[in-house]
């Protein structure tokens, strides 16, 4: 028996041993069913058919499919037995969940990481092999790889894992890898405590440290996690963006994602001058987001998705299906990231929902187009749909505020407020529905929104258990979970003083599970 065969027999034995320590995982097939119609189940967001999920992993496009791997416990609705779940989509909206892609082994649990397409066969696993680079979380954290030659349906773990051993750091994880064309090498961004370390490799197997970023820069109230370094073109020039998730230390408490804009020369990342941390999303529930690799050049977009939860209460939120294998947590809608310039002349990261959302949207209907003084109530014509999009456009003076309340028949209410006095947009969910599972869940969130005399547009994407607010085409976003007993099917609009011009439009969404 040669060494190659004996190694893979060992893998089969190890897989059997680890699998037998748990009950058989529930099937993810037959996605049309009651499990996708239950209370709180997102109708336009990806969630696992059963069990716990957290960070998105291994986002890659290949052969007509968007791959979404994710942190997953195949055996329960709480965090544990960390594996990589797997789903695919041809349009970023409708998802088919596949078998679990990677499970724990003798090196430990499978923590976060990334996937690349090895077009030039640098690793020797085959041209266009799909290669996962992930953290093996055993007695210490190290980086390992696995490869697939069947479009990600099965993976084989590399026999000489780990490929990047831990130099003695307690936090050494979440590799995000891409091919750097200019220097003809693989670049890895790795979370290393309170910094991001950059490594290079010719073949994904041998890694050399290049540099480290983060000391004295940005927010440091919690551990740095899930980095992502990528280029964006703005005004004819290439700028580099580094996403860094942090927990705790977000502007409204718990988990959040900061970002840095600067330059990368193949060795070091240098940020443009900043005075304060800049945040991707000011809601309570947008974390650990990374972007898809290998998007076709003809498309050209940088597309991101994030975990819609917060470690302050992640394990306590209601499940979407009953029983010990209840589905818990979901992903945000996919977002397109681009650069903009604010009124102070500084670059910022704009993020808005991808255009593919149009595929499940109805025609727009006008709810109201009038001047509103004090308060006015409206009933929404949702038909039997459980997700919808409200677009509100208004113009306010410096002294005015406008509050949009989402309500249902039992009086449960979530509120979005444009407040020009404080120059903020607020979201309140203290009376939004089921909030009993955590006192921290009831706290409001807000983001900075400088006043000017231009019209303000809020796009609100409302699902059975979330409200995503996109202000002024992605200049500011607030993502928050809510758990009302029934979908919000009425709204009220209230002003503090004077009359305000308000245009509200509505469209509904088909469920992605039907």
- The confidence score (pLDDT) of residue 5 equals 39
**Rounded to 5 degrees, what are φ and ψ at 36?**
-90, 0
Marked catalytic residue, from 23, 55, 276, 459 = 55
Tokens of 298: 């003809």
Between CA 334 and CA 321, with CA 30 as vertex, the angle to 5 degrees is: 70
- The confidence score (pLDDT) of residue 416 equals 98
- The confidence score (pLDDT) of residue 33 equals 63
Per-residue pLDDT of the chain (514 residues; tens, 9 = 90+): 343 333 333 333 344 344 444 546 666 644 446 789 888 999 999 999 999 999 999 999 999 999 999 999 999 999 999 999 999 999 999 999 999 999 999 999 999 999 999 999 999 999 999 999 999 999 999 999 999 999 999 999 999 999 999 999 999 999 999 999 999 999 999 999 999 999 999 999 999 999 999 999 999 999 999 999 999 999 999 999 999 999 999 999 999 999 999 999 999 999 998 878 999 999 999 999 999 999 999 999 999 999 999 999 999 999 998 788 999 999 999 999 999 999 888 999 999 999 999 999 999 999 999 999 999 999 999 999 999 999 999 999 999 999 999 999 999 999 999 999 999 999 999 999 999 999 999 999 999 999 999 999 999 999 999 999 999 999 999 999 999 999 999 999 999 999 999 999 999 999 999 8
- The confidence score (pLDDT) of residue 7 equals 36
- The confidence score (pLDDT) of residue 16 equals 39
Q: Are strands 445-448 and 302-308 parallel, antiparallel or unpaired?
A: unpaired
C-alpha 315/C-alpha 76 separation (Å) is 11
C-alpha 473/C-alpha 341 separation (Å) is 13
Tokens of 459: 């796009």
**CA 394 from centre of chain:** 29
- The confidence score (pLDDT) of residue 26 equals 64
Helices (H), 219-325: none
C-alpha 77/C-alpha 55 separation (Å) is 15
Q: Which residues contact 378 (CB under 8 A, 6 or more apart)?
A: 367, 368, 490, 491, 492, 493, 504
Q: Are strands 196-201 and 208-213 parallel, antiparallel or unpaired?
A: antiparallel
Around 309, how many Cα atoms within 13 Å sit in the side-chain half-sphere? 25
The question of whether 55 is a catalytic residue gets the answer yes
- The confidence score (pLDDT) of residue 322 equals 79
- The confidence score (pLDDT) of residue 34 equals 74
């Amino acid at each position: 028996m040669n060494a190659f065969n004996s190694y893979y027999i060992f893998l089969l034995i190890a897989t059997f041993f680890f699998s037998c320590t748990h009950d058989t995982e529930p099937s993810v097939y037959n996605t049309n069913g009651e499990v996708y119609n239950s209370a709180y189940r997102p109708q336009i967001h990806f969630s696992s058919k059963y069990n716990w999920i957290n960070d998105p992993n291994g986002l890659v496009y290949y052969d007509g499919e968007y791959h979404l791997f994710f942190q997953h416990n195949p055996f329960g609705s709480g965090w544990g037995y960390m594996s990589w779940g797997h789903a695919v989509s041809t349009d970023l909206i409708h998802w088919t969940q596949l078998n679990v892609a990677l499970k724990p082994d003798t090196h430990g649990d499978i923590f976060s990481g990334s996937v690349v397409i090895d077009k030039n066969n640098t690793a020797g696993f085959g041209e266009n092999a799909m290669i996962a680079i992930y953290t093996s979380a055993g007695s210490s954290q190290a980086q390992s790889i696995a490869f697939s030659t069947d479009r990600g349906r099965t993976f084989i773990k590399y026999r000489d894992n780990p490929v990047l051993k831990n130099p003695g750091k307690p936090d050494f994880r979440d590799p995000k890898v891409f091919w750097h064309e200019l220097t003809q090498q693989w670049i890895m961004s790795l979370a290393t405590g309170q910094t991001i370390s950059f490594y290079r490799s010719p073949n994904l197997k041998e890694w050399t440290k290049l540099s480290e970023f983060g000391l004295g820069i940005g927010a440091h109230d919690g551990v740095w996690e899930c980095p992502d370094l990528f280029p964006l073109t703005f005004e004819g020039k290439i700028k580099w963006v580094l996403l860094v998730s942090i927990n705790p230390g977000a502007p409204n408490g718990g988990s959040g994602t900061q970002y840095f804009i600067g330059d990368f020369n193949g060795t070091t990342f240098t940020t443009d001058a900043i005075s304060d941390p800049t945040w991707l999303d000011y809601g309570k529930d947008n974390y650990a987001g990374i972007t898809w690799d290998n998007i076709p050049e003809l498309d050209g977009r940088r597309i991101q998705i994030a975990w819609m939860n917060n470690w302050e209460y992640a394990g306590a939120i209601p499940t979407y299906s009953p029983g010990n294998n209840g589905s818990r947590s979901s992903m945000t809608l996919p977002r397109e990231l681009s650069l903009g310039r604010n009124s102070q002349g500084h670059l910022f990261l704009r993020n808005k929902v991808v255009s593919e959302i149009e595929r499940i949207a109805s025609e727009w209907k006008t709810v109201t187009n009038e001047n509103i003084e004090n308060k006015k109530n409206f009933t929404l014509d949702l038909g039997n749909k459980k997700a919808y999009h409200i677009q509100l456009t208004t113009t306010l003076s410096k002294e005015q505020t406008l509050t949009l309340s989402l309500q249902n028949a039992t009086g449960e209410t979530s509120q979005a407020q444009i407040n020009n006095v404080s120059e903020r947009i607020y979201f309140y969910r203290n009376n939004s529905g089921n909030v009993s599972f955590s006192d921290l869940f009831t706290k409001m969130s807000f983001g900075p929104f400088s006043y000017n005399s231009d019209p303000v547009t809020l796009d609100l994407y409302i699902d059975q258990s979330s409200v995503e607010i996109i202000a002024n085409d992605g200049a500011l976003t607030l993502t928050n979970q809510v758990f009302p007993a029934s979908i919000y099917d009425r709204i009220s609009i209230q002003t503090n003083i004077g009359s305000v011009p308000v245009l509200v439009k509505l469209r509904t969404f088909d469920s992605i599970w039907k």
